[in-house]
Amino acid sequence: MAYLLQNGRPVLASPISSGRYGHLTKGGSFKILEKERTHYSSMYGRIVDARGTMHYFMRFCGADGMHAGYLPGYPASHGCVRMPEQYAIAFFNSVGVGTPVSVFGRTSAGRYYSDRSQSAFLRRPRFGPPIGPRLAPPPPPWWR
Look at residue 131 and tell me if it is in a domain.
no
Look at residue 111 and tell me if it is in a domain.
no
Task: Evaluate if residue 80 carries a pLDDT over 70.
Answer: yes
Number of domains the chain is built from: 1
Q: Which tens digit of pLDDT belongs to each residue from 39-66?
A: 887 665 555 555 678 999 999 998 899 9
pLDDT of residue 89: 95
Look at residue 109 and tell me if it is in a domain.
no
Q: Which tens digit of pLDDT belongs to each residue from 83-121?
A: 999 999 999 999 999 999 999 887 655 454 444 444 444
Look at residue 66 and tell me if it is in a domain.
yes
Look at residue 114 and tell me if it is in a domain.
no
DSSP letter for each residue of the chain? -EEEEETTEEEEEE--B-BPTTSPPPPEEEE--EEEEEEE-SS--SSTTPPPEEEEEEEEETTEEEEE----SS--BSS-EEE-HHHHHHHHHH--TT-EEEE-----GGGTTTTS-GGGTPPPPSS--S-BTTBPPPPPGGG-
pLDDT of residue 36: 95
Q: How confident is the model at residue 124 (pLDDT cuts 50, 70, 90)?
A: low
Look at residue 110 and tell me if it is in a domain.
no
Domain hosting 51: range is 2-104
pTM for this structure? 0.69
Which comes out higher in pLDDT, residue 143 or 36? Answer: 36
Task: Evaluate if residue 10 carries a pLDDT over 50.
Answer: yes
CATH number at residue 47: 2.40.440.10
Look at residue 120 and tell me if it is in a domain.
no
Look at residue 42 and tell me if it is in a domain.
yes
Computed over every residue of the chain, the mean pLDDT equals: 79
